[in-house]
Structure 1
Amino acid sequence: MTIWRGKSPLILASQSRARKMLLADAGLPFETVAADIDERAIQQASKVSAPGEIAGLLAREKARFVSERKGEHYVIGADQTLALGERLFNKPDGRAAAAEQIRALAGQTHELHSAIAVALDGRIVFETVAIARVSMRPLSGSDIRTYLDEAGDAVTSSVGAYQLEGLGVHLFDRIDGDHFTILGLPLLPLLAFLRREKLIGF
């Protein structure tokens, strides 16, 4: 017995382990198809600069790109930006960049803007952006080195050089926002949309 009422499984236009875990744990059938788009080029061409707008733009483009090739499926695009004031962060390209990001975030509160967009037949039918505010505790140089040693290569796989669902949780002393937003997939509004579309059985 499945709660899914759609004719075809969802498609997640992302290879994110956390996003796949959230959909699977919610009992939703899905396939993953990578959205082969140049995110930085799209962002630069758009002239969009606000963190939430950037996340929304890229979520839409990912969903639309895959949906144009998989028209019979509902396609979920997702993106997340990290902003400390007006400074936007990208994934660090190595240990030194990861250390620099953590030093900048330590003792500060930053925002995670998580966007999702759903496309069908190449058309966006739903989108939303959610915000979480997370406060990193003050960290010494020794603290940062210990964290980087323990976390290893994982620090380069996400913006801010941490995964809150893993060792990164040790870096924080306050979180304002839901778990799903922090992991990059605002799940509750997505589920509400799927229920409105009669794609979920209850």
Structure 2
Amino acid sequence: MLDAAGVDYTALPAHIDEESTKAALQAAGSPARDIADALAELKALKISQANPNALVLGSDSLMVLANGRILDKPVSRDQAAEHLIAMSAGTHQLISAAVIAEQGRAVWRIVEAARLTVRSLSPATINAYLDHEWPAIAGCVGCFRIEGLGVQLFDRIEGNHFTILGMPLVPVLGYLRLRGALPL
């Protein structure tokens, strides 16, 4: 997304323990919105501490089923099929958060949500979809790439396209312009 928007950046892995952090926040009763925000902040702060003079963007997305269950990225094709079965014929929420840090502290944040209504998915549909999309969707919460075949999983989509792609890009770009970090 940043490439397509003409943003000059360097991607650095934060190497944080997302699963432990997410589990601790869930055990404490934190809402999914706060968990996405906390993970984005943790990523931004980790890189910002090592690069204090840079504006550092951290982001995270969560897929929250209608029953409140948060789906992790699938680790296997079988788990992806389980996720798609759980999502079938329901309306779920995709939450995307972005935090910008500078000098080791968060200076800006945004959290946006989209509502995704998944059509009824038969076992044959799920298998055919995974035949085409696995393992490309292994790194995707919700087991889909909305910019590809994954769009066919849905009956209705409500929310910002970039939020669904994984980051609320338009507000991020607005903040970067405000800070003079973008030429346009």
TM range (shorter): over 0.9
- Offset, 1:200: 2.6
Q: CA deviation at 1:48?
A: 4.9
CA–CA distance in structure 2, aligned partners of residues 162 and 130 of structure 1: 18
Task: Tell me if the contact between 1:134 and 1:172 (Cα under 8 Å) persists in the aligned partners.
Answer: yes
**AA aligned opposite 1:81:** L
Aligned partner (choices 130, 151, 173) of residue 169 of structure 1: 151
Q: Percent identity?
A: 40
Q: Structure 2 length normalisation: TM-score?
A: 0.93
Question: Which one of 18, 25, 41 corresponds to residue 39 of structure 1?
Answer: 18
Please tell me the residue identity of whatever aligns with 2:18: E
Aligned: 1:115 with 2:94 = no
**Match for residue 199 of structure 1 among 178, 181, 184:** 181
Q: Which ranges of 4 or more aligned residues in structure 1 deviate by more than 3 Å?
A: none
Instruction: Give TM-score, length-normalised by structure 1.
Output: 0.85
Segments of structure 2 that go 5 or more residues without pairing to the other structure are none
Q: Count residues in correspondence.
A: 181
Partner of 1:12: none
> 1:48 touches 1:54 (CA, 8 Å); kept in 2?
no
CA–CA distance in structure 2, aligned partners of residues 44 and 132 of structure 1: 23
Q: Deviation of residue 41 (structure 1)?
A: 1.8
Equivalent position of 1:82 in the other structure? 63
CA positional deviation for 1:43: 2.8
The answer for the alignment partner of 2:40 in structure 1 is 59
| Distance in 1 between residues matched to 2:72 and 2:36, nearest whole Å | 12
- Alignment correspondent of 1:138: 120
CA distance in 2, matches of 1:32, 1:48: 32
Query: Any gaps of 5 or more consecutive residues in structure 1?
Result: 1-21
Question: How far 1:155 sits from its partner (Å)?
Answer: 3.0
Deviation at 1:159, TM superposition (A): 1.4
